[in-house]
Protein backbone atom coordinates (compact mmCIF):
# COMPACT_ATOMS: atom_id res chain seq x y z
CA UNK A 1 0.00 0.00 0.00
CA UNK A 2 1.42 3.37 -0.98
CA UNK A 3 0.24 6.69 0.44
CA UNK A 4 1.28 9.98 -1.14
CA UNK A 5 1.13 12.93 1.23
CA UNK A 6 2.43 16.27 -0.06
CA UNK A 7 6.11 15.46 -0.81
CA UNK A 8 6.38 12.24 1.18
CA UNK A 9 5.67 8.75 -0.08
CA UNK A 10 5.00 6.11 2.55
CA UNK A 11 5.02 2.47 1.52
CA UNK A 12 3.63 -0.16 3.88
CA UNK A 13 4.27 -3.81 3.15
CA UNK A 14 3.80 -6.97 5.16
CA UNK A 15 7.07 -8.27 6.58
CA UNK A 16 7.80 -11.87 5.74
CA UNK A 17 9.66 -13.75 8.47
CA UNK A 18 11.38 -17.07 8.07
CA UNK A 19 10.49 -20.19 10.02
CA UNK A 20 13.75 -19.87 11.98
CA UNK A 21 12.90 -16.30 13.01
CA UNK A 22 9.35 -17.30 13.97
CA UNK A 23 10.61 -20.13 16.20
CA UNK A 24 13.19 -17.82 17.77
CA UNK A 25 10.57 -15.13 18.47
CA UNK A 26 8.26 -17.73 20.02
CA UNK A 27 11.03 -18.97 22.33
CA UNK A 28 11.89 -15.41 23.31
CA UNK A 29 8.24 -14.75 24.19
CA UNK A 30 8.08 -17.90 26.35
CA UNK A 31 11.26 -16.98 28.22
CA UNK A 32 10.02 -13.40 28.68
CA UNK A 33 6.71 -14.59 30.13
CA UNK A 34 8.50 -17.04 32.44
CA UNK A 35 10.74 -14.27 33.77
CA UNK A 36 7.78 -11.93 34.22
CA UNK A 37 6.04 -14.56 36.37
CA UNK A 38 9.19 -15.07 38.45
CA UNK A 39 9.58 -11.31 38.92
CA UNK A 40 5.90 -10.97 39.88
CA UNK A 41 6.36 -13.63 42.57
CA UNK A 42 9.21 -11.62 44.13
CA UNK A 43 7.19 -8.41 44.39
CA UNK A 44 5.59 -8.11 47.81
CA UNK A 45 1.92 -7.12 47.80
CA UNK A 46 1.30 -4.35 50.36
The pLDDT tens digits of the residues spanning 5-42 come to 677 777 788 888 899 999 999 999 999 999 999 988 88
What local confidence, expressed as pLDDT, does residue 14 receive? 84
What local confidence, expressed as pLDDT, does residue 35 receive? 94
d(CA 46, CA 38): 18
d(CA 19, CA 41): 33
Amino acid sequence: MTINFIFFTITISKRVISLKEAIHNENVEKIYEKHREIAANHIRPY
